[in-house]
Amino acid sequence: MSLLDILTFPNPFLKNPAQPVAQIDGQLQAVIDAMAETMYQAPGVGLAAVQVGLDKRLLIYDIAAKEDGRQLHVLINPKIVSQEGEIISENEGCLSVPEFRSDVKRAAQILVEGADRDGNPLRFEAQGLLAIVLQHEIDHLNGTLFIDRISSLKRQLYARRVNKQIKNQER
């Protein structure tokens, strides 16, 4: 299986809210496998379908340390049904926002609903790193990047740096 291309800022596709997954079939399973391979290779702890150009409310994540072995999780049509408290996600990053990190305010605890890769309903609470990763990935499905949650000055500095790089490449 081949790796998928990860879209990066300022690709406009990343701004589009994704469509719900209507059918869980073999094609979707193949997409999930390709996304997993892409995420592990990157490497990253989470990946949303929109990041690989797929207009679907689907995300994967694995926050297990490597020595513990891989623990791939799939969430289809995820929804944060409630949230509580506030934490600072330190030095957050994103495969779609290369070479940039920032602290981001996140909810400390969330209650998430969705389905696993077989369509079985899931409902669970998350806190700490898991809560951060899930909020980050669900944001992607709503067309939001973590840089949309930082100060506009910081975001503009990053955008300027990226635009400069793009111009240099065109030369």
Residue ranges in contact with Ni ion by CB under 5 A = 94
Which residues, other chains included, contact 45 with Cβ-Cβ below 8 Å and sequence gap of 6+?
39, 61, 62, 63, 129, 133
Determine which one of 90, 113, 137, 170 is catalytic.
137
Length of the chain: 171
Q: Which is nearer to Ni ion, 94 or 112 (CB)?
A: 94
Instruction: Compute the distance between CA of residue 130 and CA of residue 93 in angstroms, rounded to an integer.
Output: 14
SS3 138: helix
Q: Which is nearer to Ni ion, 24 or 139 (CB)?
A: 139
Minimum CB separation of residue 51 from Ni ion in Å reads 6
Geometric angle at alpha carbon 147, from 106 and 12, rounded to 5°: 125
Minimum CB separation of residue 137 from Ni ion in Å reads 7
Find how far residue 8's CA is from the centre of its chain. Answer: 12
Where does 24-154 show beta strands of DSSP type E? Answer: 46-48, 58-61, 73-84, 87-94, 97-106, 109-115, 121-127
Instruction: Compute the distance between CA of residue 28 and CA of residue 78 in angstroms, rounded to an integer.
Output: 16
Tokens of 161: 């740096």
The yes-or-no answer on residue 137 being catalytic is yes
CB closest to Ni ion, residue no: 94
Q: Which is nearer to Ni ion, 24 or 100 (CB)?
A: 100
Minimum CB separation of residue 21 from Ni ion in Å reads 19
Q: Which is nearer to Ni ion, 45 or 76 (CB)?
A: 45
Minimum CB separation of residue 139 from Ni ion in Å reads 8
Active centre residues (catalytic): 137
